[in-house]
Amino acid sequence: MSRTVFVNGEYLPEGGAKVSIFDRGFVFGDGIYEVVPVIGGKMVDKAPFLERLKRSLGELRIAMPMSEDEFVAMHEKLIELNGIEEGGVYSQITRGVADRDFAFPAIGTKPSVAAFTMKKQLIDNANARTGVKVVTVEDIRWKRRDIKSIALLGQVMAKQAAVEKGAFEGWMVEDGYVTEGTSSTAYIVKDGVIITRPLSNEILPGIRRKVIKQLCADKGVKLEERLFTVEEALNADEAFLSSATTLVMPIVEIDGHQIGGGQPGPVARQMREYYVVAIKEEADLG
Amino acid sequence: MSRTVFVNGEYLPEGGAKVSIFDRGFVFGDGIYEVVPVIGGKMVDKAPFLERLKRSLGELRIAMPMSEDEFVAMHEKLIELNGIEEGGVYSQITRGVADRDFAFPAIGTKPSVAAFTMKKQLIDNANARTGVKVVTVEDIRWKRRDIKSIALLGQVMAKQAAVEKGAFEGWMVEDGYVTEGTSSTAYIVKDGVIITRPLSNEILPGIRRKVIKQLCADKGVKLEERLFTVEEALNADEAFLSSATTLVMPIVEIDGHQIGGGQPGPVARQMREYYVVAIKEEADLG
């Protein structure tokens, strides 16, 4: 069944949703995106989603082309039109259509907006029960990874390399340290302490990361923000990743080495449980 | 007057030329591009253009979606339909339309092709007579700059920073050394020797750079391929840049410092003349 998607003010069948070849998203990767999870037909982690969206736009000096209320209402309409109980909404805002020139187009050029839904089991996820495999790949991305831009070719290449090695995700490595996954945040657990890289221009400020950090504070789980090496990851008691559509996902193998005896670890399982409870509350499914 | 452009097999008015919002060029910057100069209604530097296009596609493992002859014929048709005597043709090939997933889509997904013309005085260019200003900006791009990909956000930000400082181009700097311009190759001249950065993953293998190197060999002009610092550039006798639509462009100011007394230097002017003669010969305008 064809989805109904949103593009520049219109709700259209996905096959007919198009943008100009002069859209700066198409010729330059000049835009940003977000993915907001949906459970029980409702967006969750909604506040940090809107906050990060505005931050990315601000860093690239792209104006928000519709009000925040309209943007949220558009998401809700897509969820309803496509009968999304669980999954997510992807949205993308680019600098708009202009004759091709690297420098920004004239003031007043209207940013383009496109959005579509994804149907996916977020809570009852088979991968979360078994855990997933990751492999390390070189981090060849640009230096403003804190901006959630659509210029994602580095991530595409890294993810493809990981998939070809039979992995669920690639952990990108720079100067011997893990930065993050191609579309997720990276964590290891040692002696009961969760370790994840501090925020900087080198990684995306993960929304799930932010929520997990708060959950740790609330629940008395120790979380240390510091760099960690591949070696440390291989010798960790546990490892996991987080993202909009995986929530908290245990890792049981890194570069062919079993982690935690090849089973999802207790800390990762606990954090996933905390996470699910928190978003169920937000969606009034508590 | 509206151009006629090419998109996925069709020749269309530019206002109606569209691609799916699911095109991987739009959501990931997953594609490559080229610009071929046109003089006398004919493509010039044609052989290295096709060679580099195929190299970029090969590095990203994107299949060429039409034969080379068809691709060239499409360019010729656009030149004719739009009455381009002088200017260029921009073309872009992306990995095609697929449901959004970082990893490559199923084998058989057809790459997308878009192309359009640009009308521009290449030979009789006022900027070439006066010379242009450049400013240095930090090079924050990814590590595979040898691939002419459409994930150009780093270049967009750098070019915008340069334009806001009143410059024609930004010279990107990494570890104190100039890498290249945001959409051009960088050269300085000292004691009659042209100095330009050696090819590597850190810069695009410029087609004009390649031709200039050959012209230097043919005409007995010394060219040294080595890294050079911003300091060296500021103290150079001359500086210039090259690209598809500027050919060879003298630089008369870097970061507010006059170069060559604020006038286009003799080596740059000579190389531009050699270049113009060479492309006129290729276009049978000799």
What pLDDT digit, counting tens, does each position of B148-202 carry?
A: 999 999 999 999 999 999 999 999 999 999 999 999 999 999 999 999 999 999 9
Summarize pLDDT for A205-254 with one digit per residue, the tens.
999 999 999 999 999 999 999 999 999 999 999 999 999 999 999 999 99
CA–CA dist A62, B133 (Å, integer)? 27
Contact criterion met (CB < 8 Å) for B160 and A25: no
Question: Chain A closest CA to B23's CA: distance in Å?
Answer: 8
Nearest to A140 by CA among B222, B151, B8: B151
Q: Is the pLDDT of residue A285 over 90?
A: no
In A125-144, the residues whose Cβ lies within 8 Å of chain B are 140-144
Q: Is the pLDDT of residue A1 over 80?
A: no
Residue with token string 């010039």: B44
A194, two tokens? 């969760």
Contact criterion met (CB < 8 Å) for B29 and A143: no
Task: Exactly one of B143, B148, B210, B222 is catalytic; name it.
Answer: B148
DSSP string, A105-161: --TTPPPEEEEEEEE--SSS-HHHHH-EEEEEEE----S-TTS-BS--HHHHHHHHH
Q: Are the beta carbons of B135 and B233 closer than 8 angstroms? A: no
CA–CA dist B60, B30 (Å, integer)? 8
Q: Is the pLDDT of residue A124 over 80?
A: yes
Q: What is the pLDDT of residue B286?
A: 66
Summarize pLDDT for A175-213 with one digit per residue, the tens.
999 999 999 999 999 999 999 999 999 999 999 999 999
What is the arithmetic mean of pLDDT over A1-17?
95
Q: What is the pLDDT of residue A286?
A: 66
Across all residues in chain B, what is the average pLDDT?
97
The correct CATH number of A4-119 out of 1.10.150.120, 3.30.470.10, 3.40.309.10, 3.40.50.2300 is 3.30.470.10
CA–CA dist A64, B209 (Å, integer)? 40
Q: What is the pLDDT of residue B106?
A: 87
Contact criterion met (CB < 8 Å) for B142 and A154: yes
Summarize pLDDT for B86-136 with one digit per residue, the tens.
999 999 999 999 999 999 998 889 999 999 999 999 999 999 999 999 999
CA–CA dist A220, A211 (Å, integer)? 14
Helix, coil or strand: residue A38: strand
Interface test with B, best of A153, A160, A201 (most B CBs within 10 A): A153
What is the arithmetic mean of pLDDT over B53-66?
97
Q: Enumerate the residues of chain A whose CB falls inside 8 A of the CB of residue B103.
A: 156, 159-160, 162-163
CA–CA dist B207, B209 (Å, integer)? 5
Question: Chain A closest CA to B28's CA: distance in Å?
Answer: 5
pTM: 0.97
Q: What is the pLDDT of residue A107?
A: 86
Nearest to A183 by CA among B155, B23, B28: B28
Q: What is the pLDDT of residue B285?
A: 86
Summarize pLDDT for B250-271 with one digit per residue, the tens.
999 999 999 999 999 999 999 9
Q: What is the pLDDT of residue A106?
A: 87
Beta strands A132-138; A247-254: pairing state:
parallel
CA–CA dist B169, B144 (Å, integer)? 21
Summarize pLDDT for A66-115 with one digit per residue, the tens.
999 999 999 999 999 999 999 999 999 999 999 999 999 988 899 999 99
Question: What does the domain layout of chain B look like in residue ranges?
Answer: 4-119, 126-282
Fold of A126-282: D-amino Acid Aminotransferase; Chain A, domain 2 (3.20.10)
What is the arithmetic mean of pLDDT over A32-58?
98
Helix, coil or strand: residue A92: strand
Torsion of CA B54, B60, B64, B68, to 10 degrees: -10
| Angle in degrees, CA A69, A75, A79, rounded to 5 | 140
What is the arithmetic mean of pLDDT over B24-30?
98
Q: Within a 10 A sphere around the Cβ of A201, how many other Cβ atoms?
A: 11
Contact criterion met (CB < 8 Å) for B17 and A21: yes
Residue B155 contacts A where some CB pair is shorter than 8 Å: yes
Q: What is the pLDDT of residue A97?
A: 98
CA–CA dist A17, A6 (Å, integer)? 8
Contact criterion met (CB < 8 Å) for A21 and B19: yes
ipTM for the complex? 0.97
* pLDDT band, very low/low/confident/very high, at B1 (cuts 50, 70, 90): low
